[in-house]
Chain A
């Protein structure tokens, strides 16, 4: 409780002991923006917005200085520009986020094995097993905050409570860079003044309904007999909310499995109906996905294609291969096959995504060899490209069909500089959100294959608009250093 100007925020409701408050909810403060500031210390203390730039870009994260102007996550970037024209707008760099996130999650796991990541920047921890070793939950929470700040250079907020639900509310209440302990006997005092919308499972609609019935705070809801709630909200949600309102939440913190899938997706700046463009995008996404797989030492058997149409209808199609793969060519061929099998007649497409599931350790998994396998196949070519990417930048080697596309889309122009907006922009989840613990130590996006050695467009001439690797030599160093860590 000794650090930071916001030390006074580190409070606890009441004075009771924190024994029994073994659930920690840790939430990074303005995660993407904070990570962006690691590279741009000159921007500290100024409004910074991380988000997509295209016509459909949305804000992924904003510093608290920018939030003061009303900038919020998921708002269109164009709106953020109007609200806060003096802010610095930075493109997202998912590889950096994944790297920092992996470091943070690893730190969590060094404290307790029971870590349940919710996304790249959020996790529940059950520290009941660490109390004897490291001290009370509040002490552990403080230790954790200090170590995140020291090791990763970003701040986080921690809620400490007996249940997940209360811990999450507590971390929200103490943001940014704070800590809040809610002892068991203070849970109700903490909960009841909150608006009903704070309860998990209460969205806009439910909140409206509850307000209409005169329930504005959690306390109001708690005072209503459960039967009445059941009639008003239905047989499941009524009793559920009633239990939450009294602080009952018996969901345990579940240590997450190692990641089960890796993928990438892309929202087009404008809806696309040209199959050639879709194919090229699938190749790019497959390339990115495969290099992430290889960087993590994974291989998977199931390739999943995701297509979102202009009307937001979303479909997924998957195909399970006979053998696991970490080869972009195989992922691409499969994804393209799935896409072609949809038989779309110039349907307007908003987003495509490629994901590989059923991951196993690539090195220990037996590999069925092919009769016509050449001594040096695609896999070797792509691995060579990985190595080239380490030395010369992520775009050093890539499929020839992506070269022209890259040059036309990476250079910011006057109008809609990019046909690409950051992956998954609307949902504020990076493309590998399903796998927050991905140890993306190595820079992915090392495209494969029958590559055009694209030396002229190496990192040094690459436009700043690139969302993958900037021209910043510092970024290069960081990636190479990261690779050494893996």
Chain B
């Protein structure tokens, strides 16, 4: 095997493919990055039994071949190479990387022992890379990070014809995003639970692409698998088992009061006031017509308060939240005005975005946030 490739192209591709390599591989070959030179250039691939990543790059292939090298080492080397074309070639059981006057000799791993990468399922549909990345980011922030409840570490992806609904919850908040896409076949209907971390990483790395193809394989034989393809990058991940909580019933159908606040100043105020909120202490919000007062801390410790303009329809309400969860929601709505709907101070609040103070909320994203109960409440 022998090929020449641009340094940036190589470094970027290696870094991307190596990101799914396990830190402590269950078998040594999984620490390897597969390098395949063929007629279509060079393909780099990594796999850890859960996630696979595969990327094609343009290269001047002199001699085709297939080799497995330590992914971590190759990624470190590529990152540090000077800005000159790189030549990679096999030399017996070794691989030689040349760039300018730098020369590296790497050992190879037994390529025959490398497991077959999962086959990309048939495409289910597609959508623009930036839309996909934004929607996934809005939802995955609400996913659980605690492995004791594996189901909650996933994003539920529900496909219903031309509509996709993404949902995630960690039991403290629930984020739901609806978006349109282009299914491969009309009337397609499917549900899958995708690990949130891999999903958001994949979506982020594919956002530059004009089109991301989503390929879902659920049911049937074997375990569920989802693949994402954009540009020449392709990644697959195993789906999570288990049933995602039935969240529809959690979404309140009515509210006692609705507040509208300008998002930017609200976010700044929450950040300021919550500086005195020690770990696990809430930020307290009191809405009256025309004003919102934010408070945190207690008399015994540091405390802070701030007031700002807000409109309120319905009953006055005082409610407390974990400051970070509130911030997550306010930042995720990605809208100039935030609408907060309340039922009572112990029932979930719904955060949605408004384009202006007077327009109806944009209904495609909802962030449901459970309050903190204060002592004596």
Contacts and interface: CB of A to CB of B under 8 A. Distances in A.
Interface in B206-253: 245, 247, 250
A334 B171 contact: no
A367 interface: yes
A371 B320 contact: no
Nearest to B371: A369
A337 B146 CA distance: 11
Residue of B174, B280, B282, B370 with highest tally of chain A CB at under 10 A: B280
B181 interface: no
A106 to B, nearest CB: 24
A333 B172 contact: no
B173 interface: yes
Interface stretch (A158-166, A173-181, A358-366): A358-366
B260 interface: no
Contacts of B375: 363-366
Contact of A366 (B146, B169, B281): B281
B370 A368 contact: yes
Contacts, number: 54
B203 interface: no
Interface string B301-325: 0000000000000000000101000
B250 A368 contact: no
A323 interface: yes
Contact of A368 (B148, B245, B247, B372): B372
B373 interface: yes
B326 to A, nearest CB: 12
Contacts of B141: none
Interface majority SS (helix, strand, loop, mixed), chain B: loop
Given A365-B375, A367-B373, A372 B245 contact: yes
Interface residues of B, number: 25
Contacts of B247: 371
Nearest to A319: B148
Interface string A371-386: 1110000000000000
A370 B245 CA distance: 13
A369 B148 contact: no
Residue of A333, A363, A369 with highest tally of chain B CB at under 10 A: A369
B171 A372 contact: yes
Interface in B168-205: 169, 171-174
Given A333-B148, A363-B375, A369 B280 contact: no
B22 interface: no
B356 interface: no
B169 A371 contact: yes
Interface in A330-378: 333-334, 337, 363-373
Contacts of B281: 366
Contact of B280 (A334, A337, A364, A366): A366
B336 to A, nearest CB: 27
Contact of B372 (A334, A337, A364, A369): A369
B362 interface: no
A366 B320 contact: yes
Contact of A371 (B148, B171, B282): B171
B368 interface: yes
A452 to B, nearest CB: 26
B355 interface: no
Given A371-B348, A372-B171, A366 B250 contact: no
A368 B172 CA distance: 8
A365 B282 CA distance: 10
**What are the nearest 3 A-B pairs in CB distance?**
A364-B375, A369-B370, A367-B373
23 contacts: A322-B146, A322-B172, A334-B148, A363-B375, A366-B280, A366-B281, A366-B282, A366-B320, A366-B373, A366-B374, A367-B372, A368-B280, A368-B373, A369-B346, A369-B373, A370-B172, A370-B370, A371-B173, A371-B174, A371-B370, A372-B171, A372-B245, A373-B370
Interface of A: 301, 322-324, 333-334, 337, 363-373
Given A368-B370, A371-B174, 18 more contacts: A323-B280, A333-B148, A337-B148, A363-B375, A363-B376, A364-B376, A366-B372, A366-B374, A367-B373, A368-B172, A368-B282, A369-B370, A369-B371, A369-B372, A371-B247, A371-B250, A371-B348, A372-B250
